[in-house]
Structures are given as structure tokens and as C-alpha cells.
Amino acid sequence: MTSPALASALRRVDAVFGGKTAPAGGCTYCYGAEELALLAVPGAPLGDDLVRRFFHEVPDHFDGHPAVVRRLLPEFFAFLAAGRFSGLGYGPTGLGRVRWQEWPAEQADAIANFLDVWWRETLADPAPVYGVGAVWDLCVEIHQSLAPVHDVWAAAPRGGTEDRHLGDWVADRIDDLLQDDTCVMPWYVDLDGVLLPELQTWLVEHAVPRLAGHPDPLLARKVALLALGEEGRWVAHSELIASAG
């Protein structure tokens, strides 16, 4: 069931983007003309499958990609909030490609508000529908930034569900993080290699103190190694593993 806060965020998105249309032209190799024609019909339901396909399609498949994204937002966000999206995170989204932060303030604020509420509720849920990792990937990919997502984690009270999720998230990724492997980042987000070091620095500052009670007693100490350079990191890692027996 959608929470009151998430329902309110969806109503705001619908108020801002509901009734918008987009040019009906596009790739008729991938889509039927009747499917593309729906984009030009205000409020015409597209259905989960077509919304998902349109929302993840590359921009050159549409005559007006930003307009298509605006047209899709009410239905796509409702799709997400209802927990019906079984393929979350399988590819980059249209919203991550359109610089929506530069759209009119009313539109950008509605998008940011939905993402913020959805992420907060995911972290507070002991067993979120999609899993924290998948929601983190999508939110970071759409924001093209870590700060809006990690600021929520950093502000959460210590010792709660948010810390448990952080521990699980870090445990799944620590080996890749120690190897500076960009696979920990979502699709096409960190092509310049800027965000991975930012992520590692954030984890050293914020995750280490929150992982003190984690079932793996070495996890917090492994995260702390991210502050070291490559050579020093692996010497210290070998010593850490050896000392643990």
C-alpha cells in the first residue's frame, strides 16, 4: 500500500506533469505507430510494459525525448511506487539523460520530492520491495549525483534500519570498492571517474562509525582502508586479513 507521503508526492507529480503530451514520431522499427501515437494523447494510459520500455529507451528513438519523459512521469512514478517494476535497474533511464534539474522549478521540485520520499521510505522499510541497492542505483542514476541520496543516509538516526541497510549495501560492494571498480556505480553515471572517489570518501566518513555493530567485525575496518592509496590499501588489507586468522 502506498504511504500518505508517497501518495502526496505522486499527486504533486500528476498535478505538474499530468496531461502533457509528446510528438508521436519515433522509431517504428522498435515500436508500432499506434504505440507512438499514444504519446500525443493527453492522459492516455500506456500500460506498465510500454511505460517501462519508453522510459528506458535511448533518446534518438523519439522525435522529442524530453517531452516523452515528461509525458511518462506520472505513470512511471506510480508504477514504481506500487512495487510493480520487476526489472528495476536493468538499464539507464530517460530521466537520467535530460538534465531535468534545469527544467522549470515546479517540475524539478516535483521530481526531486518524489525521489526523496521514495528513498527515505525505502531506507526506513525493513524489507523494501525493490531492495536498497536497486533503489540507490536508480536514484543516483536519475540525480547523476550522490549528494541527494547520501545526505538522507547521513542524517538518519544511528542504530536503526537505515544503518542495517547501509551495512548490507557496503558488504555487497566492499571488494569492488577496494579495487576501485566502477561497477559499483549505476549505468553511465560516472564516466569521468569523479563519483567513485566521492563515494569512497563518503563511506570512510559516514559508514565506518555506523558499521560498528555489523555482524562482520572486519567490515568497518575494510571500509576505513578506502582512505588509503592503492599500494598502502592492499598492504593494510593483507595485514587485516592475516590478523583475523
At 72-104, the pLDDT tens digits run 999 999 999 998 887 777 778 999 999 999 999
pLDDT value of residue 43: 92
Whether residues 31 and 139 share a domain: the answer is: yes
Whether residues 139 and 169 share a domain: the answer is: no
Average pLDDT for 177-190 = 90
For helices 65-81 and 105-124, the axis angle rounded to 10 degrees is 30
Whether residues 113 and 194 share a domain: the answer is: no
pLDDT value of residue 63: 94
Query: Is 226 within 8 Å of 170 (Cβ atoms)?
Result: no
Whether residues 92 and 50 share a domain: the answer is: yes
Give backbone dihedrals phi and psi of 23, rounded to 5 degrees, phi first: -55, 140
Report angle CA 94, 98, 102 to the nearest 5 degrees: 145
Whether residues 126 and 219 share a domain: the answer is: no
Whether residues 63 and 3 share a domain: the answer is: yes
Residue keyed to cell 492516455: 44
Number of folded domains in the chain?
Answer: 2
Average pLDDT for 43-59 = 93
What does the mean pLDDT of the chain come to? 93
pLDDT value of residue 1: 66
Residue keyed to cell 534545469: 102
Residue keyed to cell 519523459: 69
pLDDT value of residue 97: 93
What's the burial of 238, exposed, middle or buried (CB within 10 Å: 0-12/13-18/19+)?
exposed
End residue of a domain, out of 118, 144, 170: 144
Domain of residue 45 covers 1-144
Report angle CA 7, 8, 10 to the nearest 5 degrees: 65
